[in-house]
Amino acid sequence: MSTSVSPSANKAYGVATVCRVWKLSRATLYRHRQPVGPATVAEPAKRGPQRGLSDTDLLAAIQKIIRESSFHAEGYRKVWARLRFAGLRTSKRRVLRLMRENDLLAPHRKGTDRGPRTHDGTITTQKVDEMWGTDLTGTATVRDGQVAVFVAVDHCSAECIGLHAAKRADRFEALEPVRQGVRECFGTFAGDIAKGLELRHDHGSQYMADDFQNEIKWLGIESSPSFVRAPEGNGCAERFIRTLKENLLWVQTFDTVEDLRRALVDFKRRYNSEWLIERHGFKPPAAVRAEQLTPMALAA
């Protein structure tokens, strides 16, 4: 109709005139003029610079990183960091998207709303050997049955400074990872050798016992119990225990306590030298300690 010629004006009516007379939106007319079908839908092009690596190739690189890693349940940020170390530069969001689409993200549980938190500050420190955290967990062995695993972690570097397994979960066994840390970090085991160090622990009977408190006091360590019913106050040790479970206790079977002890020694070495700490620029705990202590050694 729009191309028809008016007999009086000798001109075509035009789309605007026809739509106005028929009370029809021109946008509706143009939309219905376009053929409908998947072949007419144009794929939106990516804005900005073109990617140097396709999604398929990047996904293969991500899967290789996950396959070759000696740890389980590493999140997308650590995968992104390992890609950068391997010379592949991309964005965290792209790594997150690809890992989410291919079901490669680390499993996690959603927390429950427990109301206002007692502890709202930070428990990490700026220097090593200012505060350590200690806690215990349990696992099972084939011959020796249930076994307790005690840990000690530095709140600055997240370094595992002590790791111990025992059949009995008493106050004397709870002291062993602390003793390991004192010998390793301070060079000897003597009175007031660790003066200025704080030890974060919960209110378990092992840690509140007189024998435990008296020995750490003799070493010069100040007891720093976390708030009651606030496990985040001892979060550094709690987070390390999660890593220990996901990478060792839940994925391997141990025949005896001695077998477990040997595995813990090897895990401590691998963790301190290879596990990446995001708040330190994705450096392993051992590197963080070395960076802080090297200037002190040179000054001495």
User: Residue 103 to residues 100, 106, 163, 208, 243: CA-CA distances in angstroms?
Assistant: 5, 9, 33, 44, 20
Q: What is the mean pLDDT of the chain?
A: 86
Domain ranges within the chain, ordered by starting residue: 1-35, 55-101, 131-299
pLDDT at 14 over 70: yes
| Residue 294 banded pLDDT, cuts 50, 70, 90 | confident
Q: pLDDT tens digit string along 50-63?
A: 667 889 999 999 99
Superfamily of domain covering 131-299: Ribonuclease H-like superfamily/Ribonuclease H (3.30.420.10)
Q: Which of 27-36, 173-182, 208-217 has the lowest mean pLDDT?
A: 27-36
> Any long-range contacts for 111-116 (C-beta under 8 Å, 24+ apart)?
none
pLDDT at 81 over 50: yes
Backbone angles phi, psi at 3, to 5 degrees: -90, -5
Which neighbouring-strand residues pair with 140?
A: 146
Give one word for 187, left, alpha or beta, with left for phi > 0 and alpha for psi -120 to 50.
left
Predicted local distance difference test score (pLDDT) of residue 297: 44
d(CA 100, CA 59): 11
Q: pLDDT tens digit string along 125-170?
A: 999 999 999 999 999 999 999 999 999 999 999 999 999 999 999 9
Global pTM value? 0.70
